[in-house]
Homo-oligomer: A and B are copies of this chain.
Amino acid sequence: MRQFRHMAITLAGMVALGGAPALADSAMPEPVAKTAEGLIAAGLADETGLAFVEDLTTEIGARLAGSPDEARARDWAVEELQALGFDSVRVEDFTIPYWGRTHESARVVGANAQELVITALGGSQPTPEGGLEGDIVRFGSLADLMASAPGDVHGKIVFIDEKMYKTQDGSGYGLAVRKRGECAKAAAEKGALACLIRSVGTQPHRMPHTGGMLRTGALGDLPAAALSGPDADQLTRLLARGGARVALDIGVEYADAAPSGNVIAEIEGTDLKDEIVLIGCHLDSWDLGTGALDDGAGCGIVVGAAKLILDLPERPRRTIRVVLYGAEEVGLFGASAYARQHAADLDRHVLASESDFGAGRIWRFQTNFGDGALGYADAMKRMLAPLGVTPGDNSAGGGPDIGVLRRAGVPVVTPGQDGQDYFDYHHTPDDTFDKIDPGAFRQNVAVYAAFTYVAAETGWDFRKSAAADTGTE
Contacts and interface: CB of A to CB of B under 8 A. Distances in A.
A202 interface: no
A237 B54 contact: yes
A429 B112 contact: no
A432 B230 contact: yes
A115 B61 contact: yes
Contact of A61 (B62, B114, B428): B114
Which one of A54, A205, A233, A430 has the highest number of Cβ atoms from chain B below 10 Å of its Cβ? A205
A408 interface: no
Nearest to A236: B58
A152 interface: no
A5 interface: no
A59 interface: yes
B204 A114 contact: no
Interface in A54-69: 54, 58-62, 69
Nearest to A287: B115
A129 interface: no
Nearest to A103: B103
Nearest to A112: B59
A43 interface: no
Contact of A62 (B115, B230, B429, B435): B115
A429 to B, nearest CB: 4
A289 interface: yes
A434 B112 contact: no
A60 B112 contact: yes
Contact of A207 (B62, B207, B435): B207
B207 A112 contact: no
Contacts of A230: 430, 432-434
A404 interface: no
30 contacts: A54-B237, A58-B112, A58-B234, A58-B237, A58-B238, A58-B241, A59-B111, A59-B112, A59-B238, A60-B112, A60-B114, A61-B108, A61-B112, A61-B113, A61-B114, A61-B234, A69-B113, A117-B429, A204-B434, A205-B430, A206-B289, A206-B428, A206-B429, A207-B207, A230-B430, A230-B432, A230-B433, A233-B432, A234-B432, A234-B433
Given A58-B241, A230-B432, 13 more contacts: A54-B237, A58-B237, A58-B238, A59-B112, A59-B241, A69-B114, A205-B205, A206-B428, A206-B430, A230-B434, A233-B433, A233-B434, A234-B290
